Amino acid sequence: MRLFVTSDTHGMIQSVRNILKNLKNIDYIIHLGDYYRDAIELNREFGIPTLYVYGNCDFGDKEKYEKIIDIDGKRILLTHGHKYYVKFEKSIIIEKAREYGVDAVFYGHTHVPLVYNDGDMIVLNPGSPSMPREGSSRTVSIVNIENGIIVPQLLNIDDMEQYIGNKRSGTKN
Protein backbone atom coordinates (compact mmCIF):
# COMPACT_ATOMS: atom_id res chain seq x y z
CA MET A 1 0.00 0.00 0.00
CA ARG A 2 1.39 3.38 -0.99
CA LEU A 3 -0.03 6.67 0.32
CA PHE A 4 0.69 10.17 -0.93
CA VAL A 5 0.25 12.50 2.06
CA THR A 6 0.06 16.28 1.85
CA SER A 7 -1.28 19.19 3.87
CA ASP A 8 -1.59 22.96 3.80
CA THR A 9 -1.72 23.36 0.03
CA HIS A 10 -3.76 26.59 0.33
CA GLY A 11 -4.98 26.42 -3.27
CA MET A 12 -1.48 26.11 -4.76
CA ILE A 13 -1.28 22.57 -6.08
CA GLN A 14 0.75 22.79 -9.28
CA SER A 15 3.85 21.34 -7.63
CA VAL A 16 1.75 18.51 -6.18
CA ARG A 17 0.38 17.81 -9.67
CA ASN A 18 3.92 17.70 -11.06
CA ILE A 19 4.99 15.17 -8.45
CA LEU A 20 1.87 13.00 -8.81
CA LYS A 21 2.33 12.86 -12.59
CA ASN A 22 5.70 11.20 -12.00
CA LEU A 23 4.91 8.89 -9.09
CA LYS A 24 3.74 5.36 -9.73
CA ASN A 25 1.50 3.02 -7.78
CA ILE A 26 -0.15 5.53 -5.45
CA ASP A 27 -3.12 3.83 -3.76
CA TYR A 28 -4.48 6.86 -1.87
CA ILE A 29 -4.03 10.60 -1.71
CA ILE A 30 -4.41 11.87 1.85
CA HIS A 31 -4.88 15.61 2.44
CA LEU A 32 -4.67 16.86 6.01
CA GLY A 33 -6.54 20.11 5.60
CA ASP A 34 -6.19 23.73 4.72
CA TYR A 35 -7.79 23.75 1.34
CA TYR A 36 -9.22 20.25 1.40
CA ARG A 37 -10.87 21.18 -1.89
CA ASP A 38 -7.43 20.77 -3.44
CA ALA A 39 -7.75 17.07 -2.55
CA ILE A 40 -11.04 16.88 -4.43
CA GLU A 41 -9.39 18.53 -7.44
CA LEU A 42 -6.48 16.06 -7.35
CA ASN A 43 -8.92 13.16 -7.12
CA ARG A 44 -10.77 14.40 -10.21
CA GLU A 45 -7.55 14.89 -12.12
CA PHE A 46 -5.74 11.66 -11.21
CA GLY A 47 -8.59 9.32 -10.28
CA ILE A 48 -6.73 8.15 -7.17
CA PRO A 49 -8.95 7.47 -4.14
CA THR A 50 -8.66 10.46 -1.83
CA LEU A 51 -9.20 10.94 1.88
CA TYR A 52 -9.17 14.33 3.58
CA VAL A 53 -9.98 16.27 6.72
CA TYR A 54 -10.72 19.93 7.31
CA GLY A 55 -8.14 22.41 8.51
CA ASN A 56 -8.58 25.72 10.29
CA CYS A 57 -8.75 27.53 6.91
CA ASP A 58 -11.55 25.29 5.56
CA PHE A 59 -15.04 26.70 5.99
CA GLY A 60 -18.62 26.22 4.94
CA ASP A 61 -19.12 22.50 4.70
CA LYS A 62 -19.66 19.75 7.21
CA GLU A 63 -16.55 17.64 6.86
CA LYS A 64 -14.62 16.36 9.86
CA TYR A 65 -11.47 17.80 11.39
CA GLU A 66 -10.26 14.29 12.10
CA LYS A 67 -10.85 10.73 10.94
CA ILE A 68 -9.51 7.35 11.87
CA ILE A 69 -8.91 5.20 8.84
CA ASP A 70 -8.04 1.52 8.52
CA ILE A 71 -5.64 0.80 5.68
CA ASP A 72 -3.88 -2.48 5.11
CA GLY A 73 -4.42 -3.55 8.72
CA LYS A 74 -3.19 -0.27 10.21
CA ARG A 75 -5.25 2.34 12.05
CA ILE A 76 -4.23 5.91 11.27
CA LEU A 77 -5.52 9.13 12.81
CA LEU A 78 -5.82 11.89 10.20
CA THR A 79 -6.18 15.41 11.58
CA HIS A 80 -5.14 18.90 10.68
CA GLY A 81 -3.79 19.34 14.19
CA HIS A 82 -4.89 22.85 15.06
CA LYS A 83 -7.29 21.58 17.73
CA TYR A 84 -4.35 19.87 19.43
CA TYR A 85 -2.10 22.96 19.53
CA VAL A 86 0.60 21.25 17.47
CA LYS A 87 2.40 24.53 16.81
CA PHE A 88 3.29 24.65 20.50
CA GLU A 89 3.64 21.03 21.59
CA LYS A 90 3.21 17.50 20.29
CA SER A 91 2.21 15.79 23.54
CA ILE A 92 -1.52 16.56 23.23
CA ILE A 93 -1.89 15.03 19.77
CA ILE A 94 0.22 12.01 20.74
CA GLU A 95 -1.88 11.47 23.86
CA LYS A 96 -5.08 11.62 21.78
CA ALA A 97 -3.65 9.20 19.22
CA ARG A 98 -2.76 6.78 22.03
CA GLU A 99 -6.33 7.09 23.40
CA TYR A 100 -7.63 6.13 19.95
CA GLY A 101 -5.24 3.17 19.83
CA VAL A 102 -3.86 4.02 16.39
CA ASP A 103 -0.64 2.86 14.77
CA ALA A 104 0.11 6.31 13.34
CA VAL A 105 -1.00 9.92 13.48
CA PHE A 106 -0.75 12.16 10.40
CA TYR A 107 -1.27 15.89 10.92
CA GLY A 108 -0.50 19.24 9.29
CA HIS A 109 -1.04 22.87 10.38
CA THR A 110 2.56 23.75 11.24
CA HIS A 111 3.83 23.74 7.61
CA VAL A 112 6.98 22.10 9.01
CA PRO A 113 7.77 18.49 8.06
CA LEU A 114 8.32 15.97 10.81
CA VAL A 115 8.54 12.19 10.99
CA TYR A 116 9.50 10.02 13.94
CA ASN A 117 8.56 7.00 16.00
CA ASP A 118 6.98 7.67 19.37
CA GLY A 119 7.42 4.22 20.81
CA ASP A 120 5.43 1.97 18.54
CA MET A 121 3.49 4.81 16.86
CA ILE A 122 4.49 6.78 13.75
CA VAL A 123 4.07 10.56 13.95
CA LEU A 124 4.04 12.32 10.57
CA ASN A 125 3.62 15.89 9.43
CA PRO A 126 4.22 16.11 5.67
CA GLY A 127 4.93 19.84 5.87
CA SER A 128 3.57 22.08 3.13
CA PRO A 129 4.17 21.87 -0.62
CA SER A 130 3.29 25.53 -1.09
CA MET A 131 4.03 27.57 2.04
CA PRO A 132 6.86 26.07 4.13
CA ARG A 133 7.73 27.67 7.45
CA GLU A 134 10.64 27.89 9.87
CA GLY A 135 13.24 27.43 7.14
CA SER A 136 11.86 24.11 5.98
CA SER A 137 11.62 23.04 2.34
CA ARG A 138 8.44 22.48 0.35
CA THR A 139 7.57 18.88 1.19
CA VAL A 140 5.05 16.06 0.87
CA SER A 141 5.27 12.48 2.09
CA ILE A 142 5.06 8.99 0.69
CA VAL A 143 4.00 6.34 3.21
CA ASN A 144 4.47 2.68 2.36
CA ILE A 145 2.70 0.03 4.39
CA GLU A 146 4.31 -3.35 3.81
CA ASN A 147 4.21 -6.53 5.87
CA GLY A 148 2.47 -4.67 8.70
CA ILE A 149 5.10 -1.93 8.88
CA ILE A 150 4.44 1.77 8.22
CA VAL A 151 7.38 3.44 6.48
CA PRO A 152 7.03 7.23 5.97
CA GLN A 153 9.36 9.22 3.73
CA LEU A 154 9.49 12.98 3.25
CA LEU A 155 9.99 14.25 -0.30
CA ASN A 156 11.60 17.62 -0.96
CA ILE A 157 9.57 19.09 -3.83
CA ASP A 158 12.36 21.34 -5.08
CA ASP A 159 14.68 18.34 -5.38
CA MET A 160 11.94 16.29 -7.07
CA GLU A 161 11.09 19.05 -9.55
CA GLN A 162 14.77 19.50 -10.39
CA TYR A 163 15.13 15.75 -10.98
CA ILE A 164 11.95 15.63 -13.08
CA GLY A 165 13.07 18.68 -15.08
CA ASN A 166 16.51 17.18 -15.70
CA LYS A 167 14.97 13.86 -16.66
CA ARG A 168 12.73 15.56 -19.24
CA SER A 169 15.54 17.69 -20.67
CA GLY A 170 18.01 14.82 -20.72
CA THR A 171 20.57 16.59 -18.51
CA LYS A 172 22.20 15.06 -15.48
CA ASN A 173 22.74 16.50 -12.02
CATH number assigned to the domain comprising residue 114? 3.60.21.10
Q: Count how many domains the chain has.
A: 1
pLDDT in tens, the chain (173 residues): 999 999 999 999 999 999 999 999 999 999 999 999 999 999 999 999 999 999 989 876 666 889 999 999 999 999 999 999 999 999 999 999 999 999 999 999 999 999 999 999 999 999 999 998 998 899 999 999 999 999 999 999 988 766 655 555 555 54
In the sheet with 2-6, reading across from the earlier edge strand, the strands are 50-52, 28-31, 2-6, 139-146, 149-156
Considering the entire predicted model, what is its pTM?
A: 0.91
- The span from the CA of 99 to the CA of 120, in Å, is 14
CB 3 within 8 A of CB 31: no
Range of the domain at 144: 2-169
